[in-house]
Amino acid sequence: MTTVLVYLDHAGASLAKGERELLSLGASLGDVAVALAGEAEQTYLDGIGSYGVGTVYRPASAEVSDVLVAGKAVFLTEAVRAAGAGIVLLGNSYEAKEIAGRAGVRLESGVITDVVALDGDLTATKADFAGSYTVDCRVRTGIPILTIKPNSVEAAEAGISSSPREERLAVDVPVAAARVTGRTEKPASGRPELTEARVIVAGGRGVDGDFGPLEELADVLGGAVGASRAATDAGWIEHSAQIGQTGKTVSPQLYISVGISGAIQQKAGMQTSKVIVAINKDADSPVFEIADFGVVGDLRSVLPQATEEIRKRGL
Ligand SMILES: Cc1cc2nc3c(=O)[nH]c(=O)nc-3n(C[C@H](O)[C@H](O)[C@H](O)COP(=O)(O)OP(=O)(O)OC[C@H]3O[C@@H](n4cnc5c(N)ncnc54)[C@H](O)[C@@H]3O)c2cc1C
């Protein structure tokens, strides 16, 4: 059976949703091994075990994480060789994509990023050219290295209670010009991480500086709050909330676009969302071309009514 190596890099107490999705996908494709770059607590390792993972490869020295992505790419390469992996899966963060690219060069293997669906013969589906095309593609050289967008697969609990074997790998950490000198944890907002959220409420210039009603709607739906570049450039919300070509790419189950016109650069980051709802006061706004449901109206009256109705129904 093919060994599927899943690359994880999460320092924490439990597996993130995107990591559970990767392990579930891996288990559907073959025997799963894990390359774990960061430090992890026992509860996190137990979580990996519940997916029936046979081996967890870890770097022999924490130094791999001190040199941005270069050390992690070497570590992943060593783990692929040690595991004899036939498929490599990573998350879709900028860092994971860079690690995938560097490992691809080292392993002389093809890399596909931004994958939203993968079938049994490893045909991957992704959006290309700023979302203008949906493409089916396959790696034809070496070991397929694939970065998977969050929400592309259901995270199933494997429910197996196993204690994976741990193997430490010596990694020849490259001499790097840039080193990490410190880390500060981002204060938690209580909302899900944008790229992992099942529901996103995103606001644009039409919000006119007040994200309060969007936050209320996001909170009743258990969602995250995102934004167009016009809104982040105006300083109404932090830059990390930007969705689009030069922001984050997201694929939630539900994307509620509020006061956003739907420029191509915005669409590039969200049009693989499963259901798109647009609220815009201009019936001719291009956002309605990609929306599954549209509400033509002023967001200041539509949003409070929607939030109230959802609250009333206890959804
Ligand atoms: C190289 C490059 C990269 C870019 N990258 C990105 C990117 O990553 N992400 C991104 O989003 N953009 C990006 N842009 C910018 C992009 O081209 C658009 O300018 C931007 O997306 C517009 O943001 P917006 O839709 O919020 O604003 P606008 O286009 O001004 O649209 C505002 C909308 O709000 C509606 N509206 C106004 N008031 C209300 C109201 N009260 N109720 C309901 N609706 C209302 C209006 O009808 C309008 O449709 C990029 C541009 C370039 C050149």
Whose CA is closest to atom 48 on ligand 1?
Answer: 261
Closest CA to 262 of 240, 246, 280, 275: 280
- Name the domain boundary from 135, 169, 203: 169
Q: Domain end: 154, 169, 184, which one? A: 169
pLDDT value at residue 12: 74
266 CA distance to ligand 1 middle (Å): 7
CATH number at residue 30: 3.40.50.620
For residue 273, give the CATH number of its domain.
3.40.50.1220
Q: What are the E-state strand segments in the chain? A: 3-8, 31-36, 55-59, 87-90, 111-115, 117-118, 124-128, 133-137, 145-148, 165-169, 199-203, 224-227, 254-258, 275-280, 293-296
Alpha-carbon Rg for the chain, nearest whole angstrom, is 21
Which residue segment(s) compose the domain that 243 sits in? 194-313
Asked if 214 contacts 201 with a C-beta cutoff of 8 angstroms, the reply is: yes
Pairing assessment for the beta strands 293-296 and 275-280 based on DSSP bridges: parallel
Measure the CA–CA gap between 47 and 151, rounded to whole angstroms. 19
Q: pLDDT digit string (tens) for 141-192?
A: 999 999 999 888 888 876 777 788 999 999 998 887 678 888 887 777 789 9
Question: Is the minimum distance from the CB of 263 to ligand 1 under 6 angstroms?
Answer: yes
Take atom 9 of ligand 1 and give the residue whose Cα is closest: 244
**For the residues 110-134, what does the mean pLDDT come to?**
89
Give the domain-ending residue among 169, 186, 214: 169
Q: Does residue 179 form part of some domain?
A: no
Cα 213 to ligand 1 centroid, rounded to whole Å: 18
Please work out whether the CB of residue 230 comes within 6 Å of at least one atom of ligand 1: yes
Structural domain total, the chain: 2
Per-residue confidence (pLDDT) for residue 261, from 0 to 100? 98
Q: How far is the CA of 314 from the centre of ligand 1 (A)?
A: 32
Residues 7, 151 within the same domain? yes
Ligand 1 proximity of 249 Cβ (cutoff 6 Å): no
pLDDT in tens, 28-81: 999 999 999 988 888 888 899 999 899 999 999 888 888 889 999 999 999 999
pLDDT number for residue 185: 78
203 Cβ inside 6 Å of ligand 1: no
Is residue 230 a contact partner of residue 241, using CB atoms and an 8 Å limit?
no
10 with 154, same domain: the answer is yes
Question: How wide is the angle at C-alpha 59 spanned by C-alphas 54 and 61, nearest 5°?
Answer: 150
> Do residues 81 and 159 both lie within one domain?
yes
Report yes or no on 160 lying in a domain. yes
Q: Do 13 and 140 fall into the same domain? A: yes
Ligand 1: which residue has its CA nearest to atom 18? 263
Check if 261 has its Cβ closer than 6 Å to any atom of ligand 1: yes
- CA-based nearest residue to 115, from 78, 154, 148: 148
- What mean pLDDT value characterizes the chain? 92
Q: Is the same domain home to 165 and 284?
A: no
The more confidently predicted of residues 99 and 93 is 99
Q: Are residues 44 and 165 in the same domain?
A: yes
Domain-embedded: residue 188: no
Asked if residue 176 belongs to a domain, the reply is no
